[in-house]
Structure 1
Amino acid sequence: MRVVDPFLAEWPDVELDVTTAFQFGGLAALLSHEIDILVTPDPIERPGLQYTPVFDYELVLAVAETHPLAQKHRAEPEDLAGETLITYPISRERLDIYTRFLVPAHALPRRHRTVETTDLMLRLVASGRAVSATPDWLLFGARGVKGLRLGEGITKSIHLGHRAGEPAPYLSGFINLAKNVRI
């Protein structure tokens, strides 16, 4: 969202809309020309699409500052055995906390639930009701929450996907702004 204000100032004649629904079929919308840019941490290669990485981040385990795990510097898969894990409503096969951390260690949380909004997720974590796998940048300024490295670390990148070829000037402008934004 930090790209929106400078983009709107630079491109006053371009209409901007943002869809954040997790059930939204972003890839299909991009391919069918319903949207021009797809913001994703998980680019899916398809003919006719290009992805540009715009910033890197680390996936961390968000815990309440008062949670017993908050005393650790990093979490191990077995640490989640007694925990309620909150994620966005995305299938487990697409969640890095499962595919890159829990499943390889043959571990699972006590319970898994989903929520739609980051704000609610962080409030539930801060209250000590659950833990969550969260991009580190979402924790900047979050109150009552601490981020722990997941094992040796899970690094990711946010990518902007667009249809292949030379993007329209306003799309290039958006991509360049996104590359230069500081979280």
Structure 2
Amino acid sequence: MRLPPAPAWFPLRALALQGVAALCVLLFCLAPLRYCTWKLEAEIKELENRIQVQETLQPLMEGLNARREETRRLLGAASPLPTPDTLPLIITSLQEMVSLSGMQSSRFVPAAETVVEKNRIRLDGTLSGPPENFRRLVLLLSEQPWLSGMEFLNVTPSEAHPAYSLGIWATFTQPANILRH
């Protein structure tokens, strides 16, 4: 069966061009929507995987946190000290933690290149004592929110007790460029 021919007055070309234009507009609108849908589905799948990992690791983390608390209790960790507002108070607080840990000797001095930092300074220290006491000191240091990190740690073995040298970053509350006497 054949279709009847289109009358001569019927704009077949114009209709075909309009159909092609409508198809192009439809594709240009649907392609970005399909891409966004694909991207959102990938993000949802990634989030579901993260949730599954979190659910799997949660019991392990609870066990680790319990062990961490037990270790703190066994080592006699203290509560955080107040944030010092001057450099001498930082050094005093560090000496107090060294005494609490049972280390035998210590000395902390500001690193010259960090004195220009805003409210942050690296203190280089030398210590000696048994490894158990050094572990206790590291635990005490990790409890202090005003200590922001350890830059280096060197251990030198000796006959009596190992010697330790470390660099600790500290933050104090004194406003920058104000000296107190």
Q: TM-score range by the shorter chain?
A: under 0.3
TM-score, normalised relative to structure 2: 0.23
Higher percent of residues as helix: 2
Higher percent of residues as strand: 1
- Which structure has the larger Rg? 2
Which of structures 1 and 2 has the larger relative contact order (alpha carbons within 8 angstroms, sep 6+)?
1
TM-score, normalised relative to structure 1: 0.22
